[in-house]
Amino acid sequence: MNCNKTSRRKAATFIIEQVLLFMIGIMIVGASIMLFSNYNEYFNEVSARSHAEDIAGIITSSILKLSEKKSDSRILMSFCKPPAKGCLPDRIGGEDYMILLSQNNVTVKTLDSETGTVASLLGINESFMLSGRVYSSSGSFLIFKQGDEIILR
């Protein structure tokens, strides 16, 4: 009978050890998932900000080109998946985004997290009226010069 109690204790101890090891394993897996999820969010934000800066630079450059032309003109731009030469990406950081042209700057930001950037227009706002807003889900858009206006549509 005494031998039976000892083997039961050993069996109970073994089961408790295995349950504790399993729980520790689950905690390690959970911590790893949380850590990598946080890193993923961080790198998506950094990527979105970087892409937004690039897109704002392209838009600013296009506006500068239009401002130098003497007659009314336009530039057609497209959003592509995957981005190709001559196209802007259709998503940044995994999200749709908006390009806003105001009198003072170009703003590019994602719609959900509002990660983005603002780029200066280098004094063009003194000579032209600037306006317009487009969304990356639209497929394509025009930047056009009409008299003393530059419009994003």
Domain boundaries, the chain: 2-152
CA dihedral 19, 25, 27, 28 (to 10 degrees): 160
Maximum distance among all alpha carbons in the chain? Answer: 105
pLDDT value at 83 more than 80: no
Mean pLDDT of all residues in the chain?
A: 91
- How far is 45 from 114, CA to CA, in rounded Å? 10
User: What band does 2 get if pLDDT is binned at 50, 70 and 90?
Assistant: low
Band of pLDDT at residue 122, cut at 50, 70 and 90: confident
Mention every residue, 6+ apart, whose C-beta is less than 8 A from residue 135.
96, 97, 98, 99, 111
On the CB side of 50, how many CA atoms lie within 13 Å of its CA? Answer: 8
**pTM listed for this prediction:** 0.80
Q: How far is CA 69 from the centre of its chain?
A: 33
Chain-centre distance of CA 41, in angstroms? 10
Residues facing residue 134 across a β-bridge? 99
